[in-house]
Structure 1
Amino acid sequence: MDWQDTKRFVAHLDLDTFFVSVERLKNSQFVGKPLIVGGLSDRGVVAACSYETRKFGVHSAMPMKLALRLCPHAIVVRGDSDSYSYYSRLVTDVVADTVPVMEKASIDEFYVDLTGVDRFFGCSQFMVELKERIRKESGLPISYALASNKLVSKVATDDAKPDGRKEIAHGLEKSYLAPLHIDRMPGIGQKTSALLQQMGVRTIKVLSEIPVPMMQNLLGKNGIDLSRKANGIDPTPIVPYSEQKSIGTEETFQQDTIDLKFLNSEIIRMTEKLAFQLRQSGKLTGCITVKLRYSNFDTVSKQMVISYTASDAVLIRKAKELFAKLYEKRMLVRLIGVRFSHLVQGSQQINLFEDTEEAVRLYQAMDAMRNRFGDEVIKRAISIPAKPNKAS
């Protein structure tokens, strides 16, 4: 096979300051002004911030009180998860309709595999036109980088921002990465960064020169992976996007029941458990389904497209709404189930504008306990199942 045939062309696209851009689309008076999206009280948390605020040291997940101390003239708006989910889906549809293969990496970023497009159209021109189409159909600015793999394209997208584009030619991956600080490398967290810097490793070039056995002894399997990436090598494939990706759980009762208190406690228990699984895997859900099977084996379900979230409180509320609409026959229930679909990678950032700093810390502490002792170690009192009452 000819080497030209084996070349990959991968682009990473990232909607610039996504929450801020949506708010500016809704209100043009915010354009060019320092803008913070988050909780409106000084006990709230910064969910997103504009470039105009970042030069003052403001960043996401920062307490709102501190952000306003650093940038007192900033405008603060409460986040609108419905709008963000709408525009995320709008851009997703545009990209999916245009490219051969797409991976939705989060609510505001995508990878596309254009391998083969270079023979017929040209990847560079293809991406220029895709960027323009996204701007035309959504009104949102987006940056992208085109390279030979996911790693290099993602790193280069940061250099393309805001609202720009960048290309790293085949064969230049290692030299492009070399002068960059190790913190720019995906997969290097705070602890790994601190460890490497204590060893005098501050640039990706120095990291790439460390012998693989030494990296393996230092960081295990992750060390081998980082060594490969530091040399610009990343064979990770594009994972085709599918709205049908889902997680779910269901329970068949030993005794059919009509006990609404028990059924609601089961809905809450299952939803809480699935929400924890979402956060563990770094995902958000955009659709929730509740399923019932009656004692006569009739099975019914309802689903609801929702704003992307992994919040217990939001998901429990939606699940209970669906159950209330679904349970109409007043018949004995044999089985109940909950399922989350339309999953995308993402963090709880999209919910930061709904929570106070204390609430965010509480959720993190609860999840830390679940990670250590199991997902049943801590739960809402109302979700602790009682023995169901028999129908009268």
Structure 2
Amino acid sequence: MVQRYIAHFDLDSFFVSVEVLRDPSLKGKAVIVGGSPERGVVAACSYAARKFGVHSAMPMKRALQLCPHAILLKGTRGEYSRYSRIVTEIIAAKAPLFEKASIDEFYIDLTGMDKYFNPYQWTIDLRQEIIDKTELPISFGLAANKMVAKIATDEAKPNGYLYVHPGMEQAFLAPLAVNKIPGVGKQTFTTLQAMSIYKIGDILKFTPETLERKLGKYGSELHQKAQGIHHGVVTAEHEAKSISTENTFHENVLDEEYLHMQLVRMTERVAYELRQDEKMAGCVAVKIRYPDFTTTSKQMTISYTFSDDELLQAATDLFQKLYKKGTPVRLLGVRLTDFVSDGVQGNLFVDADKKANLYKAIDDVKNKFGKQALNKARTVPLPKKDVPPEEE
């Protein structure tokens, strides 16, 4: 059997680290990046803030109670996206196969590469290159599978690295807290503690059948994970799909207002699909085809988002740059690419109870009653001035 080598890279306190590059006086201080003090959530925090119990996804109000002297920053989304792309480009230029799991997290599959180089030294060298070119702290874990590599990264932080040699997975995991296993949430953690399972090694004191009676099907999966067994694969970056929609009009369209209405409708549609896939997009493209079949397209990199309004702003800007005023349009299209998982990053700089929850509510209605159940007002044609509106 071929020995697998999987590296997991994670930029340490990424948003805070970028802010420190922008303002070196923040170094070593308790810094929190996120939404408003009253209704926001913590997107990231410095290690100095973590010492007071602050962590990501925590309500900002609670975080400031724990660490009232913290420096609160709303963040600079464009800079985070820019640095994320720089790191992605460095990895893409060197890695045989990689997966961008989120804006600050990457998996690299080095299986079979041990014929050509030492995977551990190669990974050390890549980490150093990222640090040299970006000045950002980054940690990695190297192991035989994705799960162990990710846990190893967490153990290596801050700004370190750790190699779990093949065959040593179970010994490495055994002394760690059971909630170090990805997927063990609060409810599962409470159930395990009630069974006197505090360390990962304690899981193996029980049979898979006993764990299944307590945790359902996840029980047997947890038993495998405690042994360091995990079969997840690294998904190649180039295999990531785009989300797009196009409209070929029955008649060529000259009405610019109608074209804008269609642009809003299509952007809203692809944004909905994006959120259903639990992704954010970092690139928007617009395509226009004219009656003579001349086709033009243009794309724009943006701060990672799943929000209709932000995606629409980019699509509108692209349309304005592409559209030849006074020329009929045969086809109009919108495409989203450059995906990362949304996680907490989707509502970094807006209040958690506002935009993110608004889109969730809208999507819930669409899922229940159909995609056309809710639409933006701009997609509904206004009645002509000389024709009275129909009675409701």
TM-score by length of 1: 0.87
Q: What is residue 378 of structure 2 aligned with on the other side?
A: 382
Equivalent of 1:100 in 89, 96, 108: 96
Structure 2: distance between partners of 1:287 and 1:348? 19
Aligned to 1:138: 134
Higher relative contact order (Cα pairs below 8 Å, separated by 6+ residues): 1
In the other structure, the counterpart of 2:175 is 179
Aligned AA (1:365): A
| 1:296-326 deviation line (CA, Å, top 9, x unaligned) | 4332222111122212221111111112222
User: Which runs of structure 2 are paired with 1:181-330 in the superposition (5 Å)?
Assistant: 181-194=177-190, 201-208=197-204, 211-212=207-208, 225-242=221-238, 245-330=241-326
Give the CA RMSD over aligned residues: 2.8
Aligned partner of residue 143 in structure 1, secondary structure: strand
Counterpart of 1:81 (choices 77, 94, 111) is 77
**Cα gap change, 1:225 to 1:291, in 2 (>3 Å):** farther
Cα deviation for residue 157 of structure 1 reads: 0.8
Counterpart of 1:51 in structure 2: which amino acid? Y
CA 1:66/1:358 → structure 2, altered by over 3 Å: closer, same or farther?
farther
Name the SS of the counterpart of 1:115 in structure 2. coil
**Structure 1: gaps spanning 5 or more residues:** none
Q: Evaluate the alpha carbon distance shift between residue 319 and residue 140 of structure 1 in structure 2; reply closer, same or farther with a 3 A threshold.
A: same
* Post-superposition offset of 1:155: 1.2
Indicate the larger mover: 192-201 or 23-32: 192-201
Instruction: Kindly provide the CA deviation profile for residues 10-68 of structure 1, in whole angstroms up to 9, marking residues without a partner as x.
Output: 11110000000011011110000001112356444322111111222323333433322
CA distance in 1, matches of 2:261, 2:101: 34
Other structure's SS at 1:158 match: helix
1:376–1:110 Cα change, 3 Å: same
Where does structure 2 lack aligned partners over 5 or more consecutive residues? 385-392
Cα shift at 1:124: 2.2
Which residue matches 2:62? 66
Maintained 8 Å contact 1:270/1:338: yes
Which residue of 1 is the match for residue 358 of structure 2? Answer: 362
For residues 172-194 of structure 1, the C-alpha deviation after alignment (integer angstroms, 9 at most, x for no partner) is 21232233333222233445545
What residue is the counterpart of 2:3 in the other structure?
Answer: 7
What are the Cα deviations for residues 181-237 of structure 1, in whole angstroms up to 9, with x where unaligned?
332222334455455556665543344565556666776765554443332112322
Identity %: 47
Aligned CA distance change for structure 1 residues 142 and 263 (closer, same or farther; 3 Å): same
**TM-score normalised to the size of structure 2?**
0.87
Give how far 1:158 is off. 0.6
Flag the 1:17–1:243 CA change in 2: closer, same or farther, 3 A: farther
Kindly indicate whether the alpha-carbon contact (under 8 Å) linking 1:63 and 1:357 is maintained by their aligned counterparts in 2.
no
CA distance in 1, matches of 2:204, 2:375: 45
Offset at residue 248 of structure 1 (A)? 0.8
Q: For 1:56 and 1:34, how far apart are their aligned partners in 2?
A: 9
